[in-house]
Amino acid sequence: MKIVGPLFDATFVDRPNRFLTIVKIDGIKVKSHLPDPGRLEELLLPGATLKVRPVSPQGPLDNGQMVKRKTEWTTVMVKTSNQWVSIDTTLPNRFVKWLLEKSDLPFLTDFHIVKQEVTVGHHRFDFLLDGANGLFYLEVKSVTLVDNGVAMFPDAVTVRGKRHLEALAEMSNEGKDTGVLFVCQRPDVVEFRPQWNRDPKFSKALINAEAAGVKIRVISANVSPTKILFEKEIPYKLGKH
C-alpha cells in the first residue's frame, strides 16, 4: 500500500507530552503531532531520524466548522537499526482495509468489509466483516515495541484496549465471531507476546478473550517512506514466560 506523502526528513529532539514531539527540520525546531501515545522509549531517542508529514493548518470538520491544528506537522516514522518503523497508529486500519479489499490476508481471504467503525453496545470496533460462516467483528491494534525479535503490546497501559477485549469475549460467549489483529509496523518480528510488565490487566484480558473464543492473529509489515507491505503472520505466546 502506498504511503501518503510528501514526507520530510527530521530529527527527534524532545517529547513534551504523549502527543507532541519537538523535531528539527532543516535545523529549525518545530512542533509535530505524535499519533502514538505509547512510551516509544526504545525508538524516540535524541537524534533519531524521523519522517514527518506536513498537514494543513485547517483540520477536519467539527459540527460544520473547521478545526485549527495546533501543529503543522505529524511524526509518522522513525528509523532504528537501519529500518523504518511506523509510529502512525492510524496506518494499521488503512493497511488492513487495503489487505482485506485485495484478499491479501491469508486467514481472511474469504471475508469482505460490511462496515468500518461498527458500534456494539458502548464499544466501537474497527471492522464488521462477512464471510462464509456469517458476520465477524475485528479489532485492530498497532504494535511498535520489539525486543530481540519479540513484539509486545501494549507499550503503555490501555484501559480502552482491555475493555475492547472484555467486550469481544462477551460477544464471543454470546455466539458472535470475534477477533483481534495485532499489526506490527516493522518487519523484525519472530514472535508476539502481551506486555505483562507494563499492563498485566490487558495481558490477562487477552488470555481470557482467547479462552472465550476470540481469534487472535499477529502480522508484521515491511515499512518504507513510500509503502507498507504485508510481511508474514507471526506466532504468539500469551503466558508470562
What is the domain-level CATH number for residue 38?
2.40.50.580
Residue 86 belongs to a domain: no
* Residue spans of alpha helices (H) in the chain: 91-101, 159-173, 200-212
Pull the grid cell for residue 208: 481470557
Structural domain ending residue among the three candidates 80, 101, 134: 80
C-alpha span between 150 and 192 (Å, rounded): 6
Its domain, for residue 63, covers 8-80
Residue 155 belongs to a domain: yes
Same domain for 97 and 199: yes
Sign of the torsion formed by the C-alpha atoms of 52, 57, 61 and 67 = positive
Q: For position 25, what pLDDT does the model report?
A: 96
Judge contact between 101 and 113, C-beta under 8 A.
yes
Q: For position 240, what pLDDT does the model report?
A: 83
Q: For position 118, what pLDDT does the model report?
A: 95
Domain tally, the chain: 2
For the chain, report the end-to-end CA distance as a whole number of angstroms: 35
Judge contact between 94 and 24, C-beta under 8 A.
no
Q: For position 14, what pLDDT does the model report?
A: 97
Structural domain ending residue among the three candidates 57, 80, 103: 80
Q: For position 129, what pLDDT does the model report?
A: 97
Same domain for 212 and 123: yes
Question: The CATH number of the domain where 97 resides is what?
Answer: 3.40.1350.60
Looking up cell 524532545, which residue turns up? 14
Structural domain ending residue among the three candidates 80, 107, 135: 80
pLDDT tens by residue, the chain, 241 residues:
999 889 999 999 999 999 999 999 999 999 999 999 899 999 999 999 999 999 864 443 334 444 456 789 999 999 998 999 999 999 999 999 999 999 999 999 999 999 999 999 889 999 999 998 899 999 999 999 999 999 999 999 999 999 999 999 999 999 999 999 999 999 999 999 999 999 999 999 999 999 999 999 999 999 999 999 999 999 999 998 6
Residue 73 belongs to a domain: yes
